[in-house]
């Protein structure tokens, strides 16, 4: 955890970034800064020494402390989770959006790749960043590790408990409800949620999606609607075979992600089930690959580009000294394509 002098140095830098202390001017006296920060003069002296070591100010004997141009820059570390041998596409798109927004700002942005299910993903920073952006699954050990750095954090995923700082996340419950409503409108009554276990336990966003899915099924489908779930296992070939058997008694599938929806398509094809005539399929993420499938896959977009843009705004607020606990919830957008259009089935059910 950072000491008093590190905290004071961070507060002084925030005041510089906010324009309270202009670049190329002399800082107020250490006694005056101590009064502003409600700290001791000794703590401020140590803080200014830290800022000088970082090249942000220059101490001139007998003249005071002067702010250098480099003080306007800030270092941001963006954690991006890796799925197998590829980056998580949602977090990567959010990072791209953030990087583009930061290109014309004083931010120095770098990414840190975090393997899936890896909690001891960081040993140490050569230099701690000013702000951390967490684009990864919020495992308890990971959250603790990130908080222990003592830096402001922008969280890009919903967590089961309150987190300090700014959280910007997708409305998982609403997404599940929207998926159920759409499938029911297409005449589906036997619904399946296809997900996975993470580190041997339920993944909170997945739980929320399933909760929303069941709620939507009850709300729009009534007592005749049956909802079940199936979890991905590590044996892909066995899973495809087992999932295919489950799909024989299913009319509509909501997959945890767009990638997972491709497994559903494979299982359906291997079993001879026609999409969408016999099985409606909808994924979640809004990835471009959905349009390339035959039939094109319906999906629910998380708008990762908006996630990155909102993260940039949050970082600039933090660096300006306006640190606050805030929650920004992004609504889902249903994108309907051929994989879930069963209107002819729905019309026959209404006629019957």
Query: Between 124 and 54, where is the model more confident?
Result: 54
Q: How is the chain split into domains, by residue range? A: 4-71, 74-170+304-325, 172-302+335-351
pLDDT of residue 83: 77
Beta strands 333-335 and 299-301 are antiparallel
- Residue 69's pLDDT band (cuts 50, 70, 90): low
pLDDT of residue 308: 95
Average pLDDT (154-160) is: 91
Distances from the Cα of 278 to the Cαs of 167, 231, 243, 262, in angstroms? 40, 21, 15, 16
Is the domain covering 4-71 a CATH 1.10.10.10 domain? Answer: yes
pLDDT of residue 221: 94
pLDDT of residue 161: 83
Query: Between 19 and 190, where is the model more confident?
Result: 190
- Residue 10's pLDDT band (cuts 50, 70, 90): confident
Please say if the pLDDT value at position 11 is more than 80.
yes
pLDDT of residue 127: 75
Query: Between 114 and 90, where is the model more confident?
Result: 90
Nearest to 340 by CA among 273, 251, 272, 226: 251
Average pLDDT (293-312) is: 94
Average pLDDT (337-347) is: 77
Using CB atoms within 10 Å of the CB of residue 271, give its burial: 0 to 12 exposed, 13 to 18 middle, 19+ buried: middle
- Residue 345's pLDDT band (cuts 50, 70, 90): low
pLDDT of residue 233: 73
Q: Are 46 and 52 in contact (CB under 8 A)?
A: no
- Distance CA(132)–CA(318), nearest Å, equals 11
Average pLDDT (259-270) is: 93
Is the domain covering 74-170+304-325 a CATH 3.30.40.10 domain? Answer: no
The topology under which CATH files domain 172-302+335-351 is Rossmann fold (3.40.50)
Q: Average pLDDT, whole number, for the chain?
A: 87
Digit-coded pLDDT (tens) for 187-218: 999 999 999 865 556 788 999 999 999 999 99
Digit-coded pLDDT (tens) for 94-129: 999 999 998 877 788 988 888 766 665 565 666 788
Q: From its phi and psi, is residue 302 left (phi > 0), alpha (psi between -120 and 50) or beta?
A: alpha
Q: Is it true that 74-170+304-325 and 172-302+335-351 share their CATH fold?
A: yes
Q: Can you read off the two tokens belonging to residue 305? A: 């580009």
């Amino acid at each position: 955890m950072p000491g008093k002098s590190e905290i004071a140095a961070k507060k002084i830098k925030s005041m510089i970034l906010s324009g309270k202390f202009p670049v190329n001017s002399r800082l107020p006296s250490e006694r005056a800064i101590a009064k502003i920060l409600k700290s001791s003069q000794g703590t401020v002296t140590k803080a200014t020494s830290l800022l000088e070591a970082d090249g942000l100010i220059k101490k001139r004997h007998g003249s005071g402390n002067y702010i250098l141009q480099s003080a306007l820059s800030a270092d941001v570390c963006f954690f991006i989770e890796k799925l197998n041998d590829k980056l998580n596409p949602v977090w990567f798109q959010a990072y791209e959006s953030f990087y583009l927004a930061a290109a014309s700002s004083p931010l120095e942005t770098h990414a840190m790749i975090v393997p899936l299910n890896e909690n001891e993903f960081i040993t140490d920073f050569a230099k701690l960043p000013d702000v951390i952006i967490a684009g990864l699954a919020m495992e308890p050990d990971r959250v603790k590790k990130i908080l222990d750095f003592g830096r402001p954090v922008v969280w890009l995923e919903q967590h089961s408990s309150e987190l300090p700082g700014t959280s910007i996340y997708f409305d998982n419950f609403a997404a599940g409800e929207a998926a159920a409503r759409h499938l029911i409108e297409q005449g589906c009554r036997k619904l399946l949620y296809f997900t996975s276990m993470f580190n041997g336990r339920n993944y909170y966003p997945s739980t929320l999606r399933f909760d929303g899915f069941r709620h939507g099924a009850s709300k729009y489908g009534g007592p005749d609607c049956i909802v079940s779930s199936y979890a991905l296992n590590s044996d892909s070939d066995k899973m495809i075979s087992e999932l295919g058997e489950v799909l024989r008694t299913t009319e509509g599938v909501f997959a945890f992600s767009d990638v997972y929806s491709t497994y559903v398509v494979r299982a359906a094809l291997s079993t001879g089930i026609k999409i969408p005539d016999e099985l409606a399929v909808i994924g979640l993420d809004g990835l471009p690959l959905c349009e390339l499938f035959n039939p094109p896959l319906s999906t629910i977009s998380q708008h990762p580009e908006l996630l990155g843009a909102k993260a940039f705004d949050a970082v600039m607020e933090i660096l300006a000294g306006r640190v606050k606990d805030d929650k920004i919830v992004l609504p889902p957008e249903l994108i309907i394509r051929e994989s879930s259009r069963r209107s002819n089935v729905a019309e026959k059910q209404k006629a019957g």
